[in-house]
C-alpha cells in the first residue's frame, strides 16, 4: 500500500510570511491541525501545527494590560517564526507501513508528502492511515474478530484457513501478532459472520486454543 494512494491531495497550505493569527483561523475553519508551509512552486519549507501556534499565544493568567501587550506582539508573529523548518517528509512511493513506523518514531501526527524536487504533493496523517487500514482490513463489513494461539512455525495459517473454510465463512482479513508465550503467535481472523459461537466451537473441536482478543494487547511480551 503506497502513500500516494491514501494521502490527502487537496492540501491547504500557507506561506511563511502569513501571520500566525491568520494561520490559526484557517486551522479552525477547516478542522485541521497541520499546515504545510510552501514557497514559490509549492516547494516545502516547513510545517506549522496547532501546538506551535498555541505555544506562541498569550497565557490565560496574564493581567489585562499584559494580555494587551501580548496580543500586539502576537499580531507581528509570522508563520516562519514558529514553524518547523525542513520537517521530516515522506515520498509518494513509500508505503503506509513506512509512514506508520515513522509516526511512531518521530511522535508526530502527519507528514508532508514531497517529490524528488521538494515540491509538496500531499499530506499523510493518522486519520488517512486509519481510513486506509479500515478499508484494507474489511472492517466496514459487519463481522467478528477471533483470536487463536498457534505455534510459531510454518503451516499454522493454512490449518486455520482450512478449518474456518469448512464452515463456509468468509474472511475479511487476518492479522498475525506476537503473544506472551515464547514460541507462539496470535492469529486474529476477522470473519464475516454473526454466528461466532459456531465458529469457536468448530475451532475448539479441531484442537485450536482460542484467545479472547480483549485480553491481548500490543505491548505484551513473551514470557521467558
Which residue ranges make up each domain of the chain?
3-135, 144-215
Which CATH architecture group holds 3-135?
Roll (3.10)
Cell representation of residue 68: 494587551
- pLDDT for position 137: 77
Instruction: Give me the tens of pLDDT residue by residue for the chain, a chain 224 residues long.
Output: 899 999 999 999 999 999 999 999 999 999 999 999 999 999 999 999 999 998 887 655 445 555 566 666 777 899 999 999 999 999 999 999 999 999 999 999 999 999 999 999 999 999 999 999 888 877 788 899 999 999 999 999 999 999 999 999 999 999 998 887 889 999 999 999 989 999 999 999 999 999 988 877 655 555 55
Q: How many CB atoms lie within 10 A of CB 111?
A: 27
The 10 Å CB-count burial string (b at 16+, else e) for 31-62 is ebbbbbbbeeebebbbbbbeebbeebeeeeee
Distance in angstroms (rounded) separating the CA atoms of residues 149 and 106: 32
Give this prediction's pTM.
0.72
Q: Domain 144-215, what fold?
A: Alpha-Beta Plaits (3.30.70)
User: Measured between alpha carbons, how far is residue 168 from residues 101, 153, 156, 191, 192 in Å?
Assistant: 36, 26, 19, 11, 10
Amino acid at each position: 500500500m503506497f502513500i500516494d494512494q491514501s494521502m490527502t491531495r487537496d492540501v491547504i497550505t500557507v506561506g511563511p510570511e502569513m501571520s500566525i493569527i491568520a494561520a490559526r483561523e484557517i486551522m479552525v475553519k477547516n478542522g485541521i491541525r497541520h499546515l504545510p508551509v510552501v514557497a514559490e512552486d509549492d516547494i516545502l519549507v516547513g510545517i506549522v501545527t496547532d501546538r506551535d501556534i498555541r505555544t506562541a499565544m498569550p497565557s490565560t493568567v496574564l493581567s489585562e494590560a499584559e494580555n494587551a501587550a501580548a496580543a500586539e506582539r502576537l499580531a507581528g508573529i509570522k508563520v516562519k517564526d514558529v514553524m518547523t523548518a525542513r520537517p521530516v517528509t515522506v515520498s509518494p512511493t513509500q508505503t503506509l507501513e513506512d509512514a506508520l513506523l515513522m509516526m511512531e518514531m518521530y511522535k508526530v501526527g502527519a507528514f508532508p508528502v514531497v517529490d524528488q524536487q521538494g515540491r509538496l504533493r500531499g499530506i499523510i496523517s493518522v486519520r488517512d492511515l486509519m481510513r486506509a487500514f479500515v478499508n484494507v482490513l474489511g472492517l466496514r463489513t459487519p463481522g467478528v474478530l477471533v483470536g487463536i494461539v498457534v505455534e510459531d512455525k510454518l503451516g499454522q495459517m493454512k490449518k486455520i484457513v482450512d478449518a474456518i473454510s469448512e464452515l463456509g465463512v468468509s474472511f475479511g482479513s487476518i492479522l498475525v501478532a506476537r503473544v506472551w508465550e515464547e514460541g507462539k503467535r496470535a492469529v486474529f481472523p476477522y470473519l464475516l459472520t454473526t454466528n461466532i459461537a459456531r465458529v469457536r466451537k468448530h475451532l475448539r473441536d479441531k484442537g485450536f486454543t482460542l484467545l479472547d482478543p480483549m485480553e491481548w494487547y500490543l505491548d505484551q511480551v513473551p514470557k521467558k
